[in-house]
C-alpha cells in the first residue's frame, strides 16, 4: 500500500513539473480557455483503482457480445448489410433525357429512410441512356420505388420502359465464414509476433484482446445506430486493427522494455504519446466526416471515429490494467 502511494506521489511531482512547463508556454502562445480540472483526484483514482477500472472495458465487451448475439438471433446476421452486400431489387429504366443520379439518389433516400438506395447511370456511346436504381427492399415494394422515381423525374413510365430484377448478394454465401476464419488466423499470427518481441504470454494476449474488443464494441455501437454496412465498412473495421496495435505496442514497449522512471511515469509518458497519435487521427477523421460528400467515405470515417474512441478505453484502461496486474504478480513472485 505504501509503495503505491509513494509511486503516486513521485509521479505527481514529475507530471506537475511537466504541467508547469506547459503552462508557461501556453501563456506566451495562444490563449486557449482552460477548463479547471481536479487533475490529482482523477490521477489518484486512475493509479490506485486500476483493478476496479477494468470492469468498464470488460463490461462494454460483454454488453457488446450480448447485443450482437441478440441481433444475430433476430435477423440471422450480426451486422446490418446494405444493398450491395445483401441484395435487393434493381430497377433499370431507359430514359430519353439525362437524369441527375446523385440528386435522385438523395431524394429517394429521404423518401425511403429505412432502405439503402443507390442510383447509377447507364450509358451507351458516351451519352446517358438510362438509370439503374438498387434498393434493399422486397419485390413487392419495388412498385412504390418506381412511383417515387416517376414523381422525382416528372415522367410517366410504361411497363416497357423499365425492368425489375431481384439481385442476390454480391458476396458469396461463405464470405462471412471466410472473413471470421481469416481474422482468427490473423489474431493467432499477431499473438505469435508480439510474443517474439516481448517473450511473455500476457502482453501478447492483451494486445489481441484489445484489437478484438475494439472491433466487437464498435460493431455493437454501429449496429445500434442502425448503420448499414457496405464492403467499405467491413474494410474500416479491419483498419481498426492497425490503429489499435499501434497504441498497444507503444504502451507495452514503454512499460515492459524500458527501465527509466517509475511504472506510472512510463505509463503517463505512453499516454502522452498515445493521445497525440489518437488525437491526430481523430482530427483528420472528423475533418473527413464533415467535408465529405461521399457516403462511402462517411461510413469509413464514422466507424473509425467510434473505433478510435473505443480504443482509448481498451488501451489505456484495459491493456494498462492487465499489464499492471501482470507486473504486480511478477514483483510478488520475485519478492518471495
Partner 1 sequence: MNYKIKKIFTNVRVIILMISLVLAVVAINPRPGIEGVVIRNVITNSSAAEAGIQQAAPNARASSRERILEINNKPIKDEESYYNLVNSLKPNQSIQIKTSRGLYRLKAREKIEIIELNETIEKTIEEKITVNETVNGSIVEINKTTSRIIIAPKTKTISKGTEDIGLRVYNAPKTNLKKGLDLQGGTRVLLQPEKPLPPQDLGSLIDTMSERLNVYGLSDLIIRDASDLSRNQYILVEIAGANEEEIKNLLASQGKFEAKISNQTVFIGGKDIVFVCRSANCAGIDPNAGCSSSNGQSACRFRFSIAISPEAAQKQADITSKLEVIGDSSGKGRGDAYLSEPLELYLDDAKVDELSIGAELKGSTTTEIQISGSGVGSTEQEAVFNAMGNMKRLQTVLITGSLPVKLNIVKVDNISPMLGNEFLKNALILGVLALISVVAVIFAKYRKLVVAIPMVLSSIFEIVLLLGIAALIGWNMDLAAVAGIIVAIGTGVNDNTVITDETIRGGQRGVYDWKQRIKNAFFIIMAAYSTIAVSMLPLVFAGAGMLKGFAITTIIGASVGVFITRPAYSRVIEILLKE
Site for partner 1 in 148-177 (CB under 8 A): 163-173, 175
- Cα–chain center distance at 277: 16
Binding residue (CB under 8 A) for partner 1 from 126, 158, 226, 335? 126
Instruction: Pick out residues in 56-95 that bind partner 1 (CB under 8 A).
Output: 87, 90
Q: Cell 431524394 appears where? A: 107
Q: CB of residue 40 vs partner 1: minimum separation in angstroms?
A: 21
Residue 90 to residue 84: CA distance in whole angstroms: 11
DSSP 317: I
Q: CB of residue 164 vs partner 1: minimum separation in angstroms?
A: 6
Instruction: Pick out residues in 232-291 that bind partner 1 (CB under 8 A).
Output: 232, 234-236, 238-239, 241-243, 245-247, 249-250, 253, 257-258, 260-261, 265, 269, 272-273, 276-277, 279-281, 283-284, 287-288, 291
Q: Cell 486512475 appears where? A: 46
Binding residue (CB under 8 A) for partner 1 from 44, 109, 148, 292? 292
Q: CB of residue 280 vs partner 1: minimum separation in angstroms?
A: 5
Q: CB of residue 190 vs partner 1: minimum separation in angstroms?
A: 5
> Residue 158 region, left (φ>0) first, then alpha (ψ -120 to 50), else beta?
beta
Binding residue (CB under 8 A) for partner 1 from 24, 178, 200, 224? 178
By CB under 8 A, is residue 144 in contact with partner 1? no
Count of other CB atoms within 10 angstroms of residue 314: 27
Q: Which positions from 314 to 333 touch partner 1 by CB under 8 A, shown as an x/- string?
A: --------------------
Q: CB of residue 273 vs partner 1: minimum separation in angstroms?
A: 4
Instruction: Pick out residues in 293-312 that bind partner 1 (CB under 8 A).
Output: 293-294, 296-297, 300, 304
Q: CB of residue 180 vs partner 1: minimum separation in angstroms?
A: 10
Name the residue nearer to partner 1 (CB basis): 73 or 290: 290
Contacts of 112 (CB under 8 A, 6+ apart): 135, 137, 144, 145, 148
Q: CB of residue 157 vs partner 1: minimum separation in angstroms?
A: 15
Cell of 250: 507503444
Q: Which positions from 24 to 53 touch partner 1 by CB under 8 A, shown as an x/- string?
A: -x---x------------------------
Instruction: Pick out residues in 180-239 that bind partner 1 (CB under 8 A).
Output: 181-183, 185-187, 189-190, 192-194, 197, 207, 211, 231-232, 234-236, 238-239
Report angle CA 112, 226, 102 to the nearest 5 degrees.
Answer: 40
DSSP 200: -
CA–CA distances in Å: residue 216 to residues 57, 100, 225, 306: 12, 39, 14, 11
What are residue 123's phi and psi, to 5 degrees? -140, 160
Q: How many residues bind partner 1 (CB under 8 A)?
A: 87
209's enclosing H/E stretch is: helix 201-224
Residue 135 to residue 65: CA distance in whole angstroms: 30
Residue 319 to residue 282: CA distance in whole angstroms: 20
Cell of 37: 480540472
Residue 149 to residue 155: CA distance in whole angstroms: 8
Binding residue (CB under 8 A) for partner 1 from 27, 34, 36, 124? 124
Amino acid at each position: 500500500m505504501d509503495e503505491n502511494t509513494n509511486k503516486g506521489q513521485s509521479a505527481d511531482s514529475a507530471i506537475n513539473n511537466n504541467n508547469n512547463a506547459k503552462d508557461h508556454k501556453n501563456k506566451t502562445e495562444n490563449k486557449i480557455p482552460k477548463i479547471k480540472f481536479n487533475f490529482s483526484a482523477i490521477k489518484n483514482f486512475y493509479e490506485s483503482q486500476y483493478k476496479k477500472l477494468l470492469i468498464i472495458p470488460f463490461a462494454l465487451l460483454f454488453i457488446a457480445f450480448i447485443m450482437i448475439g441478440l441481433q444475430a438471433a433476430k435477423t440471422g446476421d450480426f451486422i446490418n448489410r446494405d444493398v450491395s452486400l445483401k441484395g435487393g431489387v434493381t430497377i433499370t429504366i431507359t430514359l430519353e433525357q439525362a437524369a441527375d443520379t446523385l440528386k435522385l439518389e438523395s431524394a429517394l433516400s429521404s423518401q425511403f429512410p429505412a432502405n439503402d438506395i443507390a442510383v447509377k447511370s447507364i450509358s451507351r456511346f458516351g451519352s446517358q441512356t438510362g438509370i439503374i436504381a438498387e434498393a434493399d427492399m422486397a419485390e413487392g415494394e419495388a412498385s412504390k420505388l418506381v412511383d417515387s422515381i416517376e414523381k422525382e423525374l416528372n415522367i410517366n413510365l410504361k411497363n416497357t420502359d423499365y425492368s425489375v430484377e431481384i439481385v442476390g448478394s454480391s458476396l458469396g454465401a461463405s464470405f462471412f465464414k471466410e472473413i471470421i476464419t481469416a481474422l482468427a488466423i490473423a489474431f493467432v499470427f499477431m499473438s505469435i509476433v508480439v510474443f517474439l518481441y516481448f517473450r511473455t504470454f500476457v502482453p501478447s494476449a492483451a494486445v489481441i484482446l484489445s484489437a478484438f474488443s475494439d472491433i466487437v464494441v464498435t460493431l455493437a455501437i454501429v449496429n445500434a445506430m442502425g448503420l448499414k454496412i457496405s464492403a467499405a465498412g467491413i474494410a474500416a473495421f479491419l483498419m481498426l486493427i492497425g490503429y489499435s496495435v499501434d497504441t498497444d505496442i507503444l504502451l507495452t514497449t514503454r512499460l515492459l522494455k524500458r527501465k527509466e522512471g517509475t511504472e506510472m511515469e512510463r505509463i503517463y509518458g505512453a499516454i502522452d504519446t498515445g493521445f497525440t497519435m489518437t488525437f491526430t487521427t481523430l482530427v483528420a477523421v472528423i475533418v473527413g466526416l464533415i467535408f465529405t460528400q461521399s457516403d462511402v467515405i462517411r461510413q469509413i470515417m464514422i466507424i473509425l471515429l467510434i473505433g478510435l474512441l473505443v480504443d482509448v478505453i481498451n488501451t489505456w484502461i484495459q491493456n494498462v490494467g492487465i499489464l499492471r496486474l501482470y507486473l504486480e504478480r511478477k514483483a510478488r513472485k520475485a519478492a518471495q
